[in-house]
Amino acid sequence: MSSEAARRIVVTGATGNVGTSVVRLLSEDPEVGSVLGLARRMPDWSPPKTDWAAVDLASVQADLATMFEGADAVIHLAWAFQPTHDPATTWRTNVLGGIRVFEAVAAAKVPTLVHASSVGAYSPGPKEHAVDESWPTHGWPDAAYCREKAYLERTLDTFDRAHPRVRVVRMRPAFLFKRESASEQRRIFGGRFLPGPLARPELLPFLPDIPGLRVQALHTDDAASAYQLAVKSDVRGAFNLAAEPPVDAGLLGQMLGARPVRLPRTAARSAIAAAWGLHLLPPRGGAAY
């Protein structure tokens, strides 16, 4: 491995919500000598010590092993959230692309792999308390995102056994948000038919309060700090990334000045399923509650 002052880090998905925060932190880190950001499209952004390469992980032509040569760590963040109605397409990018990243890490003899898994990889858990990293990661069968994250967890189980010299870190973050990615996240959760002006808090007279629906959230920059620490620390295994308190309708109502209105869970699920079936809503809603 190269000296600490000249660490070379490769980041896939480097222009996304998490990737931009990770690249910025690494480019400012005196212990990092260079960063190679991989993305489907070349950005205009030019942070210090950073080079870019256009790569489509769904393509079998991508020569990832060559790009990983000499790297001290690969941070795998790349993920396609859409099209949710075409799971074969997201599978090619997320699962097959992820496997190509893992194989290239082994071929290039990269000593550290930090993989962006998700709390979405977890099997359904209890509603009354949180679960730790030992909870099963078999996902939620109805949601492609959860299936794909869970599949890569199983792939990494095999990778760990086959390549014990590679230090593998699995990050399992909750929902990640930052102001700079607001428009991208609105499209992911609200769909392309939701105009930006309608998402303003002052236009929300009430919020649906669905029994049992609570999520955890984290600022993207805080998650990026965890990825930076994972590269620089001698740790391995899985780590949950989340912040307190859990977010529910009551907390959102306080933040946005909107009144929570209780809706039956069955009615909410039916409405979300209908909207998803009509291609009006990108995410499939069952896994959350």
How many domains in the chain? 1
Query: Residue 238 corresponds to which tokens in the numbers above?
Result: 């899985």
pLDDT in tens, 161-185: 999 999 999 999 998 988 776 666 6
Helix, strand, or coil here: 213? coil
Q: Looking at residue 50, what is its pLDDT?
A: 98
Q: Looking at residue 2, what is its pLDDT?
A: 46
Q: Looking at residue 129, what is its pLDDT?
A: 79
Question: Which residues of the chain fall below pLDDT 70?
Answer: 1-5, 181-207, 209, 211-213, 249, 251, 253, 256, 264-265, 267-289
Q: Looking at residue 237, what is its pLDDT?
A: 97
Q: Which residues contact 97 (CB under 8 A, 6 or more apart)?
A: 57, 58, 78
pLDDT in tens, 216-251: 889 999 999 999 999 999 999 999 999 888 877 676
Burial (0-12, 13-18, 19+ Cβ within 10 Å), 139 = buried
Cα–Cα nearest to 287, from 124, 118, 84, 79: 124
pTM to 2 decimals? 0.81
Query: Residue 258 corresponds to which tokens in the numbers above?
Result: 């909107």
Peptide bond preceding 173 in cis form (omega within 30 of 0): no
CATH number, position 28: 3.40.50.720
Q: Looking at residue 4, what is its pLDDT?
A: 47
Domain that holds residue 116: 1-289
